[in-house]
Amino acid sequence: MSKKVLYENKYLQVFVDESVPYLGFTWNGFVPSTEFRSGVLKCGEFIEDYALTHPNLRLLGDTQTIGVISREDMKWLVEYVTPLYAKAGAKYLAFIMSNNAFGQLSLNNYVSQTTGSEYLTTQIFDNKEEALDWLKSV
């Protein structure tokens, strides 16, 4: 794996792996709304930059340890961020399922609200290997 960390703080790590290639983000624990939104927008900046050289950009969201996402933040993700990511160049988004019930609920809620949208093709996986296999195939 040729993982290169692009950004990191207490709640989020953003990295690129050229071997697939994909842009990845790993969330850590319960993330307060302000930090969550800031991190999501930071991911958008990297998507915009990375998509310039990688058409059909693939994303991997490691949400194994993320906590619950508030209703307001979920609405913001669905209505604002998903179109923003797609406009920036993202095409495919694989999630690694959260290990806790709150994170699972949030992730399933997001995917159910965005499935069939014209923005991103999104799938949830139980582990990183399955997610990477799917990203390599699209």
Specify the CATH class of 19-137 in words.
alpha beta
- Provide the residue count of the chain: 138
Quick check: 47 and 23 in contact, CB under 8 A? yes
How is the chain split into domains, by residue range? Answer: 19-137
Model pTM score: 0.90
Location of structure tokens 């953003």:
14
Q: Residues 87-110: pLDDT tens digits?
A: 999 999 999 998 888 888 888 888
For the chain, the maximum distance between any two Cα atoms, rounded to a whole number of angstroms, is 37
- pLDDT exceeds 60 at position 80: yes
CA 2, distance to chain mean position in Å, is: 19
